[in-house]
Structure 1
Amino acid sequence: MDQLLNDFSPGLFFMQAIILLIIILLMKKFAWKPILDALQDREDGIHNALDSAKKAKLEMQNLQADNERLLIEARAERDAMLKEARDIRSKTIEDAKGEAQEQAHAIIKQAQVAIEGEKKAAVIALKDYVATLSLEIAEKVVRTELSNKDRQLELVETMLDEKSLN
């Protein structure tokens, strides 16, 4: 250190100090300003990126909320549609049952009418058959009875007696 103090020259010191000041001024004018501007731009970029990230996060949260809301609405709509489909199915089944019952009643009524008509037709046919059979029997009896002359007179007298008694 002693040697440094012995070799110290004030002219050289001032000259080096002036060169250092000139270099600092030049650096300040040409280097520091662009470096500080670049650092400021970088800091602004980082702040903008952070702000954008916050906005993106908020948008993402909003989208998630919207998606949840849409999902809930879609589920509610699906449930409503399923309920409506079940109601329609039940109504269709009930309508079909009612229509089937009405058709069954109509068929039963038609069958009853047909049976009644067949019954009447059978009774009429039976009456016709009995009447025809009775006429045939009466004809045979009358032929047998009227074939004999004595028998004819006796029958006429019996009929006249019956008429007189009434």
Structure 2
Amino acid sequence: MEKLIEQFSFGLFFWQLLLFVGLVLLLKKFAWKPILDAVEKREEGIKGALESAEKARLEMQNLQADNQKLLKEARAEREDMLKEAREIKNKMIEDAKSEAQEQANKMIAQATAAIESEKKVAMAELKGQVAGLSLEIAEKVVRRELSSKDRQEELVESMLSEAKLN
């Protein structure tokens, strides 16, 4: 250190100081300013990218929220549609059952009416046959009873005696 102090020269120091200040000024004008401008641009670019990323993240959250909302609405709509379909199915089944019951009741009523009319026809036929048979039997009995003269007189007398009794 002593050697540096002994060899110290003001002229050399002055020129070195002058060159250093000139170099600093040149660097400031041609190097520091462009470097600082580039750093500032890069910093602004990074800030812009960070803001864009934040906006994109917020948009993504909004889209996710919208997607969730749409999904819930779609599920609710699907449930409503399924419920409506079940109700329509049940209504169709009930309508088919009631229509089948009405048809069955109509068929039963028609069958009952047919049976009643056939029964009346059969009863009328039976009465006609019974009446016919009764007439035939009565005719045969009367012929047999009235075949002889003695029997005819007996019949007349018995009818007269019955008439008096009444």
Which bracket does the TM-score occupy, shorter chain normalised?
Answer: 0.7 to 0.9
Distance (whole Å) between structure 2 residues aligned to residue 143 and residue 85 of structure 1: 85
The one-letter amino acid paired with 2:85 is A
The one-letter amino acid paired with 1:90 is N
The one-letter amino acid paired with 1:59 is E
Q: CA deviation at 1:56?
A: 1.4
Distance (whole Å) between structure 2 residues aligned to residue 120 and residue 97 of structure 1: 34
Q: CA deviation at 1:148?
A: 3.7
Q: CA deviation at 1:22?
A: 2.0
Sort the Cα spacing of 1:24 and 1:146 in 2 relative to 1 into closer, same or farther, 3 A. Answer: same
Distance (whole Å) between structure 2 residues aligned to residue 33 and residue 61 of structure 1: 41
Task: Identify the residue that residue 124 of structure 2 maps to in structure 1.
Answer: 124
Q: CA deviation at 1:9?
A: 2.1
RMSD value, Cα: 2.5
Asked whether 1:84 is paired with 2:87, we answer no
Distance (whole Å) between structure 1 residues aligned to residue 77 and residue 157 of structure 2: 101
Task: Identify the residue that residue 41 of structure 1 maps to in structure 2.
Answer: 41
Task: Identify the residue that residue 27 of structure 2 maps to in structure 1.
Answer: 27
Task: Identify the residue that residue 12 of structure 1 maps to in structure 2.
Answer: 12
Structure 2 unpaired stretches of 5+ = none
SS at match of 1:90: helix
Structure 2 length-normalised TM: 0.83
Task: Identify the residue that residue 95 of structure 1 maps to in structure 2.
Answer: 95
Q: CA deviation at 1:136?
A: 2.7
Q: CA deviation at 1:151?
A: 4.1
Distance (whole Å) between structure 2 residues aligned to residue 159 and residue 125 of structure 1: 35
Give deviations 1:5-43, integer Å, cap 9, x for gaps.
Answer: 222222222222222222222211211111111110111
- Aligned pairs (5 A) from 1:69-80: 69-80=69-80
Q: CA deviation at 1:133?
A: 1.7
